[in-house]
A and B are shown apart, each in its own frame.
Chain A
Amino acid sequence: MGRFHLHADGTDHVHELDPDAGHHQDHDHPHPDAGKTPEVGDHSGYLETGQTRITILENLLSENDRVADDNGRRLAAAGVRAVNLMSSPGAGKTTLLRKTLERMGDVVRIGVLEGDIATSLDADQLQGAGATAISVVNTSAGFGGECHLDAVMVRSGMERLPLPELDLLIIENVGNLVCPAEFRVGEDARAMVFAVTEGEEKPLKYPVMFRAADVVVVNKIDLLPHLDFDVDLFLSNLKAVNPRAHIIMASARSGEGVEEWCAWLAAQGELEPTPSQV
């Protein structure tokens, strides 16, 4: 280790000039430590005759990240702040989004990029709620439905949006707690909606997603009287994997916390403060 590392912001270095780089990738010399190191059982490092090994050390997501950076630059050039909204299926992203549009849609020009596996059902729910523009990206290409939006999908969705007419782009990712966290799409911030019906242990089971979030909206708190959900236990689990996340307790259904969420969104782009409406 040591010749490459990832930073918390997702960027990475590869120190290809390190004289020791690639050492353990080509064991075509006698190993003085043979028999002492735990790696000795790994024979994948030995080359058969007539073969050549090429050291690559390339991040698997580098192509995605390159497109994500392009997306980010295009959004910045158009003066648009972008928020990647993620959650498991049914946590309440779309309902929260509809309340958000109703609350701030006539003050802040909001574009919505909807990722959905095969339908436009979510986008249909948002029609008339106050979005300046909505673009749907169905992710059902390739192997029968991707489980996340990647930077290329977001790029094509952005092409159908009037970016100069927008202040804020909300990218509603596909409902899934595993994949979306791996793929940057060019966003300025990442928001996660978590429903209290999902259970206190979820931050420990899906740490990549919970770590990636700048803000966690703890949704459906109107249901708490009917559940055994332990709020303090959940918050301590969340803090264990992501101590820096901003936490908003909310119910998109009752409207509780929606104002705080809208204020957080507005603060992302130093957008005009939302007047109290609802």
Chain B
Amino acid sequence: MLPGEVRAMHELSICNAIASTAVKHAEGRPVTQVKVQIGHLRQVVPDALQFSWEVVSSTTDLKDAQLVIEQVPAVVECLDCGATTVLDLAILACGACDGFDVKLLSGEELLVVSIDLVDA
């Protein structure tokens, strides 16, 4: 399998999960927007997720629903120096003192935040 295929399928799996969550909560009502939060540490490529959404949503009741992706930066709190820093790389180190003893505050989100429905 080519690396590109693996990646696309990764986003496709995630889109299937987004779609089933949205359909469950919509209870048959038309959906216009699905908003998700994806943490930077999740290795999700937003463009690939949007493309996958076109494929997945077209086969479901969600074909008119727009996917809105909120990306959440990876933020760590250093347990040595106490600094809170945003990661540029996926290396879990403090941006202030380079220490590795850090607590992850955000960046692992994989969340359906909300759906917008057309009022009956």
Contact = CB atoms under 8 A, between A and B. Distances in A.
A260 interface: no
Nearest to B55: A143
Contacts of B10: 147, 178-179, 182
A63 to B, nearest CB: 7
A204 B43 contact: no
Interface residues of B, number: 47
Contact of B9 (A6, A55, A60, A143): A143
A117 interface: yes
A145 interface: yes
B62 interface: no
Interface in A54-111: 54-61, 63-64, 89
B43 A239 contact: no
A178 B43 contact: yes
A241 B89 CA distance: 10
A48 B33 CA distance: 11
Give the interface residue-count category, chain A: 35 or more
Most buried by B among A64, A146, A182, A239: A182
Nearest to A177: B6
A53 B43 contact: no
B7 interface: yes
Interface string B55-85: 0000000000000100010010000000000
Contacts of A54: 25, 114-117
